[in-house]
Amino acid sequence: MKERAEQALSQAGIQPTPNRILVVDALQHAQSPLSLADLEELLPTMERSGIFRVLSLLADSHVAHTVNDGTRSLKYEMCPSGAGGHSASDHHVHFHCTRCGRTYCIDCPVPRVPLPEGFRALSANYVLDGLCPSCDTE
């Protein structure tokens, strides 16, 4: 089970320590992007600072990316293109439910925005707010 996490770290040139494997495994099995608080709940044997250090390393190495869904708490998810990827699939739309607070990945690329000459986008954060199917009772 943890072999996939270890492989993702190794492919990115990151030493697969036990804490790193735990965090990557949790992100790989998550149904939606996870916050630091979510990971604290899932990984009670790890300290908050240790989880944060691993998340920072994963984000800096492009193994995972951050999602700013407007909740003032960054969410993290594995890059779809794989370890260390910079694929177009890594920049996709997210949906944030304003009732339950869950953030979902939407299989849709971030729309291309024509930039003025000399500008180069390095990342994009595209989040739609609304109600998920479970919360939309109308």
| Three-state secondary structure call for residue 53 | helix
Positions of the chain with pLDDT under 70: 1, 80-90, 138
Backbone CA torsion sign across 124, 20, 56, 43: positive
> What does the DSSP 8-state code read for residue 111?
P
| The predicted structure's pLDDT at residue 89 | 46
Strand 34-35 to 75-78 pairing: antiparallel
What are residue 109's phi and psi, to 5 degrees? Answer: -70, 150
Neighbours of 97 (CB within 10 A): 20
Does the predicted TM-score (pTM) go above 0.95? no
Cα 35 from Cα 55, distance rounded (Å): 10
| The predicted structure's pLDDT at residue 81 | 57
**H or E element at residue 23:** helix 18-29
| The predicted structure's pLDDT at residue 88 | 46
